[in-house]
Amino acid sequence: MKVLLDLQYLNVASTGIKTYMLELAHAARAYPHPEIEWIFTHETEERLADQTYRGTQSKIQKLNFHLDYFRWKEFQLPDLVKKYQADVLLCPDFVSPAASLPCRRLTVIHDAFFWQMPQNYPRWWRKYFLSLIRKGLKENTEIITTTEYSKNSLLEHLGSSLPISVVYQAPKFLNGVTPSSSLLAAHNLVKGGYFLHIGTFDKRKNLPLLVRAYADFLSKSQSSKKLVLAGGPGQSKVMNDLPHVEKLVESLGLQEKVILPGYLDDTEIRALYEEAFAYVFPSENEGFGIPVLEAMGFGVPVIHSDQPALMEVAGAAGLPFSTGSESNLTEKMILLERETDLRSSLVHAGMARSKDFSAQKFITAFQEIILRSPLAR
């Protein structure tokens, strides 16, 4: 059984989808199946090194990217399916070719944000991207998604004409990465001395809420703990909350308390996880929530919104608060600092929970879907 894995989008993918693609490719090679031959459209390291469309782009550069992406999906990728005589095409980035193909398709749709939160996307871009998604959902296609919450959301917006399977992904636990302490030293961050969030400043992440709750936490607890918000701007001007967060930090006089280091490499991220007091995830909508498991795997307790996907992934190993409630988040931050037994129990429960999401389980779920008959659903 030949499976063609489309890794074209890896050169621009960020955060969740990037981790998904890398861990899937890694697991496919680390845990081979005798009946499956994996064919990668690109080598992961080479694709990651392609800087053509990264960083600030002009309108012409953005247009060129979309044209390249369209050519890839609609012409080059179908040609590779024929060249390799693939039995299955696996597209982990929402979009499969609109052209008819002589193979099964597995298309990963990570979440239903495009339908649920239209206000967070440029209108023309959302309309264009949704048309690409829908045109690729044809023939012998099975949708793969990340949680039961995402599955139910997709059923609501796409209907039940195509089968949808849930495959829990594997987080990146940064095994083999040597932590760098330079960032910690530069900002006087000590072990257990800060709350942490890692990710883009997309509006749905609710990071202004976290900053306000943190300010309230400081006033009520007299704590010296800092807040680290690592990551880059939101994926578009419409979605980007970074300017709002920066202004809020300044208006609250928290410039020395809230650290905004921007994008970090894996050595710095590992160091942040290892020394953090707690991870805080206030997002109003997630398809999965990789950082929940990453933090738990490092023995860091997690405070998270009670958004359905985060509740599903964290199980009973996190400390949930009411989504969108600044006061409830503040209460949970204070509670975690005061109750050492609670923190200890969350650490142990989180480390156990993180083991339920391994690379081997990730790829085994895909192998089972690939090998079963398309009619056996």
Q: What is the rounded average pLDDT of the residues 269-287?
A: 97
List all residues 6 or more positions away from 284 whose beta carbon is below 8 Å from its beta carbon.
204, 205, 206, 305, 307, 323, 324
Residue 377 pLDDT class (50, 70, 90 cuts): very low
pLDDT above 80: residue 129: yes
Residue 59 pLDDT class (50, 70, 90 cuts): confident
Could you give the residue range(s) of every CATH 3.40.50.2000 domain in the chain?
2-170+358-371, 182-354
SS3 call for 219? helix
Q: Is 247 exposed, middle or buried (0-12, 13-18, 19+ CB in 10 A)?
A: exposed
Looking at 3.10.25.10, 3.40.50.720, 3.40.50.300, 3.40.50.2000, the CATH number of the domain 2-170+358-371 comes to 3.40.50.2000
Tokens 């609609």, residue? 74
SS3 call for 140? coil
The predicted pLDDT at position 29 comes to 96
Looking at 3.90.1300.10, 3.40.50.2000, 3.40.50.11540, 3.40.630.30, the CATH number of the domain 182-354 comes to 3.40.50.2000
pLDDT above 70: residue 376: no
Q: What is the rounded average pLDDT of the residues 285-301?
A: 96
336 close to 342: Cβ distance less than 8 angstroms: yes
Q: How far apart are CA 313 and CA 110, in angstroms?
A: 14
The predicted pLDDT at position 10 comes to 92
Q: How far apart are CA 287 and CA 145, in angstroms?
A: 8
The predicted pLDDT at position 374 comes to 63
The predicted pLDDT at position 14 comes to 76
φ, ψ for residue 259, nearest 5 deg: -100, 125
* Greater pLDDT, 120 or 376: 120
Q: What is the rounded average pLDDT of the residues 185-192?
A: 96
Percent of the chain with pLDDT over 70: 98
Strand order in the sheet with 258-262: 258-262, 226-230, 194-198, 278-281, 302-305, 319-321
Q: What is the rounded average pLDDT of the residues 222-250?
A: 91
The predicted pLDDT at position 103 comes to 96
Q: How far apart are CA 26 and CA 7, in angstroms?
A: 12
φ, ψ for residue 286, nearest 5 deg: -140, 150
9 close to 43: Cβ distance less than 8 angstroms: no
Mean pLDDT of the chain: 93
> What are the beta bridge partners of residue 302?
279
